[in-house]
Structure 1
Amino acid sequence: MTTLAPRKRSARSGGPSVGRPGAVWAVPATIFFALFALVPLIFVGVLSFTSWSGLADPVFVGFDNWVKLIADPILTKSFGLTGLFVILGLITQTPLSILLGVWAAGHQKNRAVLSAIYFVPLLLSSAAISILWRALLDPNFGIPGQLPWLFGDGNLFGKQASAIAVLTFVSMWQFTPFHTLIYQGAARAIPPVLYQAAQIDGAGTVRQFFSVTLPQLRNSIITSGILMVVGGLTTFDTVLILTNGGPGTDTTITAFYMYQKAFRAFDFGQASAIAVVLVVIATAISLLVVRLSGYDKMQSAQEGI
């Protein structure tokens, strides 16, 4: 009597499916990404080689816009300011987001109510938040004008250092809750058995945080960091409303300078070149962070298990 080897049950026969979903599931997202990301990016790339005021037909000028960018001192300064803004965002938002996220993942009394109040900035637009803080920090009628012993003349927007500090603080106030949500979800996914083992080994709360919690949040830290970098590179409305790039050009970051070139100087060709540079920088930084952190290798190893 011949014994037939059992066949693997397939999805068609009602058995559990094995492996990744089919490529057809990615079609809607791919179409959406192509229409609203790739096509506009290609259009902007072509436009960067033209001279266009927004009214007449674009005129092909070759690499003239790119040559102008290299010799533009304001653009060079804007890159430095953008890098500073990104770094300040990382060093202020990351530690605070991690601490708040880990705390919000616990079971403290009134935790849910306090978390809901803290996440209110997520419900507001960047423009509304910027208008709010512009009114609160007004040198004549705002808080600084009422506390000269702390803020001096009260004009926080009149000096580069204080203006950058205001931009950093407002961005931290607005976006820290978003990154807190990322860390909250990641902290809740940490297996409790790790903390139980640490307690058996005599580790206290602080030791558990650095030896258990932080290593388990590694992937979330990488993801949050990339989002912060990209967000810092593309920040625009906060600068427009709070400082308008001033005093002078002391807070003119690259995204705001691109806006000035496009909608104030009506030089859409050069503005498109700046946009392409921003895309290249953001993509390069994201890939570099993923590469240096070993995130891609870790993901491949997990998929191979």
Structure 2
Amino acid sequence: MITRRNIPYLLIAPALLGFAVFKAYPILAAAYISLTTGAGAARGFVGLDNYARLVDDPLFWTSLGNTALILVVQVPIMLFLALLLALGLNSPFVRLRAVWRLGVFMPSLTGLVAYGVLFSVILSKESGLLNWLLGFFGAERIDWLGSPFWARIAIVIALTWHYTGYTAVIYLAGLQSVPRELYEAAMVDGAGATRRFWSITIPQLRPILLLTVVLSTIGTLQLFDEPFVLTGGGPDNTTLTISLYLYQNGFRYFDFGYAAAIAYALTLMVAGFGLLQIRLTRGRK
């Protein structure tokens, strides 16, 4: 019987049903699959063997190292450039600021696969635009996607191009929310531009800085599209990331139990990094 008291439960029932079917069930099913091996009727329960296999899998550790390297190199560069862009776009001396803001944000609207294909053309060794520019100035061509060192650089360049503008817009929103009275009071006290930046801007942006660091860390740990489209994890597995290794085990080798174990290991790492970053910055003034 429908009464006024149970109407709210009826209203949220579709959302709860959708969550149960499309969220909760896949999570629980993946947890079970990670404890099995084989496929179909031949699937058998193996307990924690798939997780024990991770410890002795050199490719897993290679993918983890590659992901960590991209994380510690690309994320600081991107956040620094995004902050510089936000400060510039927030300046009253910049004309047509709305146009510049749109231009900065536009790369983040490009589809992941689309911009991956775009960069594969730009970074082509034989006919790429970047190598053409290098040749125009007399420099030698670079094998951007075929060299272990330069392939990693290519991934960093693509990620920075795509996500810097998005992060800059977040910083810009934070800068515009800082009360102007704080800067005016600091100027009256004789504080210079550098002092105002470190004593007012950075402390006021700290929650947003934490947000972007956490989001960028999580996004990099889940990195898949760029190495998949640009390098396929090569050359010699130097751009193989955890997510790409998960995909290979699940959809190339059809080892779904091991792929599910990698997914849960990745989930624990993402959660751990997020909690660690929040804990390290909590309570700082």
TM-score, scaled to structure 1: 0.83
Partner residue of 1:232? 220
Q: Which of 257, 264, 283 pairs up with 2:271?
A: 283
Moved over 6 A (4+): 22-31
CA separation in 2, counterparts of 1:189 and 1:42?
42
Amino acid across the alignment from 1:120:
M
Q: Which residue of 2 aligns with 1:198?
A: 186
Q: CA shift at 1:68, angstroms?
A: 1.7
Aligned with residue 256 of structure 2, among 231, 243, 268: 268
* Structural mapping, 1:6-155, within 5 Å: 35-53=21-39, 56=41, 58-107=43-92, 108-146=94-132, 147-148=134-135, 152-155=140-143
Distance 1:286 1:23, change over 3 A: farther
Query: Once the 2 structures are TM-superposed, how far is the Cα of residue 143 of structure 1 from its aligned partner?
Result: 2.5
CA offset at residue 243 of structure 1? Answer: 0.8
In 1: Cα distance, 2:112 partner to 2:263 partner:
21
Preserved CA contact (<8 Å) 1:133 1:170 = yes
Is residue 164 from structure 1 mapped to residue 149 from structure 2 by the alignment?
no
Matches within 5 A, 1:174-189: 174-189=162-177
What is the deviation of 1:64?
2.1
Residues paired across the two proteins, number: 275
After superposition, give the CA deviation of every residue in 1:101-144 in whole Å (9 maximum; x if it has no partner).
Answer: 23323433111111111111122111111000100111111124
RMSD: 2.5
**AA aligned opposite 2:178:** I
In structure 1, distance between residues paired with 2:128 and 2:174: 39
**Cα 1:75–1:186 shift into 2, 3 Å:** same
**Match of 1:224, as an amino acid?**
T
Query: Could you tell me whether the CA contact under 8 Å between 2:101 and 2:169 is conserved in 1?
Result: no
| Residue 3 (structure 2) aligns with | none
For 1:32 and 1:157, how far apart are their aligned partners in 2? 42
Moved more, 280-289 or 149-158: 149-158
Aligned equivalent of 2:246: 258
Q: Equivalents in 1 of 2:198, 2:168: separation in Å?
A: 18
* Residue number in structure 2 paired with 1:10: none
Q: Could you state the TM-score of these two structures normalised by the residue count of structure 2?
A: 0.88
Question: What is the distance in 2 between the residues matched to 1:262 and 1:59?
Answer: 16
Structure of larger gyration radius: 1
SS in 2 for 1:181: helix
Query: Partner amino acid for 2:271?
Result: T
- For 2:81, the aligned partner's letter is L
Q: 1:184-207, CA deviations, whole angstroms, 9 ceiling, x for partnerless residues?
A: 111111111100011111222232
Q: Residue 119 of structure 1: SS of its match in structure 2?
A: helix
More helix, by proportion: 2
Offset of residue 31 of structure 1: 6.4
Q: What does residue 5 of structure 1 align with?
A: none
* Cα distance change of structure 1 residues 34 and 274 upon mapping to structure 2, 3 Å threshold: same
Q: Shift of the alpha carbon at 1:238? A: 0.7
Quote the sequence identity (%): 32
Greater mean deviation of Cα atoms: 272-281 or 206-215: 206-215
Take 1:111 and 1:256, find their aligned partners in 2: how far apart are those partners? 39
Equivalent in the alignment of 1:8: none
The residue aligned with 2:5 is none
